[in-house]
Every structure is written in structure tokens, then in C-alpha cells.
Amino acid sequence: MTDAERFEQLRTNCLACTRCSLRQGCQNVVFGTGPVPADILFIGEGPGEQEDLSGEPFVGPAGRLLNDYLCAVGIERESVYIANIVKCRPPHNRDPLPEEQEACIPWLRAQTKLVHPKIIVCLGRIAAMRIIRQDFRITREHGQWFEKGAFSITATFHPSALLRNPQNRSAAYEDFILIAERRAALYGRQRD
């Protein structure tokens, strides 16, 4: 089996997942989008309303702001992989529960192996607490880099949080500049 076939198999299995009760309350499993392999894996929290309806991550208002940041630092959205900690929308956009995260995280781990990024970017507190450290403080530690195994990992503010608190937008922009620079350093060139 090629990696592309493995990835398709993974998607098919994930779309049929019933490991937690979130699936009963949502329209679509939002598996993730992007090329495989990819230089950068962005990890959000979980699908919102627009994502649930479309089956694609970050397509609502938060997604449009994410697109603006990517564009501002010269990263093409189509060149990165985008996924979430949980693949099914939590009711009323509440934080995913620890047991829901636990049930879902094997999908993300399997995706990460096949996407094979050198860079992982956690979008927001929930992803950072799950991927970097349980007691991660986004306000204090955003933009810092953590080396874990083969990955350079960082976290920045969640775009939804930036829509609510625009005062953090310039700090987030600085984080995205660092992400673009890290990609240029690790992959040898700045992509279009």
C-alpha cells in the first residue's frame, strides 16, 4: 500500500468513527484538508458550524482570518495540512471534553505520521494543551518553539479568539512570521 492509499483508508475509517458521542450530534466528520506529505500541520480545536456543514476545517469566520494570516506571510493554504483535535463538532461549540479528545486523538496521530510535517502549529489553547503541555499558557508562551522528536512545534492564538480579542492580532502576526521563517529554514526555501 502506498502512503496515499493508507491516507485514504485512514480517512474512510475516520469518517465511519463512532468512538465518542459527538458523532451523534453533528452533520459531518471533519477529517482535515491539505497535501500529504506537507511541510506544516496546523491543528485547531474542533469543527464549528460552517465546518460541520461543509466537512472542511476552518472555512467559517475563523478560517477566513487564518487565511489572511497565511497570505500575509506568504504561506499558501493549499500547501499546508489543516486538522483539528476532535473531528466532530461539539454541541454549541463548547470545548471538547478530555474523553472526547482522548477518543479522537489516535486519528490525528495517524494523520501526522503520514502528513509527516517538520512543523506543527497549534491554533489555540486546547490544541496547545493537548500537543505541547497540559499547563500551556497561550498568552505567555505563544510563538515559542518546542522540539519534540522530529517536530518543531509552536502555538499561536486561535483565530476565533482573535476575532473576539483583536488586541492580540499583531502578536499573532509575529508568530506567523516566525512560522514562515522556520519553514524557510527547515525546507531550504521560502515557498510562494
Q: Which residues bind ligand URA (CB under 6 A)?
A: 44-48, 51, 57-58, 62, 84, 160
In sequence order, the β-bridge partners of residue 41 are 81, 120
Choose between 103 and 128: whose C-beta lies nearer to ligand URA.
Answer: 128
Cell reading at 97: 471534553
Min. distance of Cβ 189 from ligand URA in angstroms? 29
Cell reading at 117: 510535517
- Amino acid letter, residue 178: L
Choose between 34 and 44: whose C-beta lies nearer to ligand URA.
Answer: 44
Min. distance of Cβ 138 from ligand URA in angstroms? 13
Min. distance of Cβ 48 from ligand URA in angstroms? 4
Choose between 34 and 57: whose C-beta lies nearer to ligand URA.
Answer: 57
Q: Is 57 exposed, middle or buried (0-12, 13-18, 19+ CB in 10 A)?
A: buried
Q: Closest Cα to residue 107, out of 83, 127, 79? A: 83
Choose between 4 and 35: whose C-beta lies nearer to ligand URA.
Answer: 35
Choose between 6 and 77: whose C-beta lies nearer to ligand URA.
Answer: 77
Gap between the Cα atoms of 176 and 30, Å rounded: 24
**Which position's Cβ is nearest ligand URA?**
44
Gap between the Cα atoms of 134 and 126, Å rounded: 9
Are 54 and 63 spatial neighbours (Cβ–Cβ below 8 Å)? no
Min. distance of Cβ 150 from ligand URA in angstroms? 24
Min. distance of Cβ 145 from ligand URA in angstroms? 21
